[in-house]
Amino acid sequence: MESSSWEESVTQSINTIYLLFSAYLVFVMQLGFAMLCAGSVRAKNAMNILLTNVVDAVVGSISYYLFGFAFAFGHGSTSNPFIGTSFFALKDIPDSSYDYSYFLFQWAFAIAVAGIVSGSIAERTQFTSYLIFSFFLTGFVYPIVSHWVWSPEGWLNPNNLLFGSGAIDFAGSGVVHLVGGIGGFWGALIEGPRVGRFDAFGKPVGMRGHNATLVVLGTFLLWFGWFGFNPGSFDQILVAYPNTTAQGNWTGVGRTAVTTTLAGSAAGIMTLFSRRLLIGHWDALDVCNGVLGGFVAITSGCSVVDPWAAIVCGCVAAWVLIGLNILALKLKFDDPLEATQLHGGCGAWGLIFTGLFAKKEFVLQVYDGGASGIVRPYGLFMGGGWGLFGSQVIEVLVIVGWVSVTMGPLFYSLHWLDLLRISSDDEIAGLDISSHGGYAYVSHPEDSQPRFYADYVRIQP
């Protein structure tokens, strides 16, 4: 009895360390987002976008602590498939289902969603609106979706078997990325393009980011963090599969890291050569976004597909991103970070991809502990029928609908109250000088602009 208790304690300790380390990796992605965003905007807005990334983290932390985790994972006598009803402000945590390490892991996911939206509305948004939408998104909108898919009570959870299957969104192509992408879409659409983004004839005018070094640095930091995002979503590493030789969650963790790497790499290569054919030169910034698009797409099915399928996922994700970027320009839609196209478009493709390529063996390992004799749908192209594919399509549709009816009215209300967009004069001068007291750099390409906030105030009428 003592030996069994000791073994259980060691197992639980190792699983907790694994989950905490994964949470730390996911949190490093905030630094990646900050660097990517800063490099992708013009120098006169660098301080603003860096501060918004900090705000997304600190405001999101309080919001998720007070309400978000409860709405996402709360359970009990009043539990239901649509919203959690307990654990507000972590009351009664830890319990038999969740502990503090699980909260920290889920918190790191939650604050990433707000960072996606921030990129879509960069360079033209009042700072107050960041505080409002970050609190609302991480405290209510995102947690509801994560409850549907990731809570055991959720109606889309794989264990509740919608269409005999439930939706497989292992690490959040839909729950995290599609939610952020659609939220960013409504913000960018209601705000409209940046001043000068399209000329008088409606043709796009280039507004490239000011620092490719930061973009590449941010991309590699995000890549590093994705090894916590995807493999870490197993939550526990010391879980053995029955009827196998030396296989368990540790096998799935390794496979998930491999599929993640291959999808991002395939998307990067496809973007590299595709953009070379389209624009005539090798573009580092486009390749970075292509790599991230591959990561976003594979996030849903990373644990349940073969490595060769991950390459297919990444190649298609690259063209999804390229195609949506072309469409955005034609529709005069302005998203400085391409976040809507990248996280929204590639996130939706990732969900569909899982419904096509999920492998039976891996689905049973991840969601049924490798037990034999269980029958459940898997990928359509793998012979698993339409059940899983249908569930994936349903997830795409309900996420788009839910985020649209929540974030759309929020952004419109901020617009109506004149709290969303800054004035044209402030936008042209730059958010750093008009809202934050000075520029991020001692010298920069806009040196003809006022250097300090006092200088900016003096030239105002």
Give me the chain's average pLDDT, please: 92
Among candidate residues 175, 228, 263, 268, the one with its CA nearest the CA of residue 31: 228
Burial of 41 (0-12, 13-18, 19+ CB in 10 A): buried
Give the pLDDT score at 242: 85
Give the pLDDT score at 97: 87
Burial of 416 (0-12, 13-18, 19+ CB in 10 A): exposed
Give the pLDDT score at 195: 94
Name the percent of the chain lying above pLDDT 70.
94
For 351-363, b where at least 16 C-beta lie within 10 A, e where not — what string? bbbbbbbbbbebb
Q: Per-residue pLDDT averaged across 333-346, rounded?
A: 96
pLDDT at 229 over 60: yes
Q: Per-residue pLDDT averaged across 164-178, rounded?
A: 94
Length of the chain as a residue count: 461
Give the pLDDT score at 3: 47
Q: Which of the two residues, 17 and 241, has the higher pLDDT score?
A: 17
- In this prediction, residue 101 has a pLDDT band, given cuts at 50, 70 and 90, of very high
Give the pLDDT score at 1: 40
Among candidate residues 230, 379, 228, 251, the one with its CA nearest the CA of residue 299: 230
pLDDT at 358 over 90: yes
Q: Per-residue pLDDT averaged across 338-346, rounded?
A: 97
Q: What is the CA radius of gyration of the chain?
A: 22
Token pair recorded at residue 83 = 């919203």
Give the pLDDT score at 243: 76
- In this prediction, residue 439 has a pLDDT band, given cuts at 50, 70 and 90, of confident
Give the pLDDT score at 2: 45
- pLDDT tens figures, 272-292: 999 999 999 999 999 999 999
Give the pLDDT score at 345: 97
Give the pLDDT score at 446: 53
- pLDDT tens figures, 40-88: 999 999 999 999 999 999 999 999 999 999 999 998 777 789 999 999 9
pLDDT at 458 over 80: no
Rounded Cα distance between 144 and 155, Å, is 11
Helices (H), 121-152: 127-136, 142-150
- In this prediction, residue 454 has a pLDDT band, given cuts at 50, 70 and 90, of low
SS3 337: coil
What are the two backbone dihedrals, phi and then psi, of residue 83, each rounded to the nearest 5 degrees?
-155, 140
pLDDT at 459 over 60: no
Give the pLDDT score at 244: 74
Confidence (pTM) = 0.93
Q: Per-residue pLDDT averaged across 114-136, rounded?
A: 94
> Helix/strand/coil (H, E, C) string of 299-318?
CCCCCCCCHHHHHHHHHHHH
Contact 114, 134 (CB under 8 A): yes
SS3 418: coil
pLDDT at 450 over 70: no
Q: Per-residue pLDDT averaged across 380-398, rounded?
A: 95
SS3 182: helix
Q: What DSSP character marks residue 97?
A: S
For the ranges 22-31, 363-372, 417-426, the lowest mean pLDDT is seen at 363-372
Rounded Cα distance between 26 and 222, Å, is 8
pLDDT at 427 over 80: yes
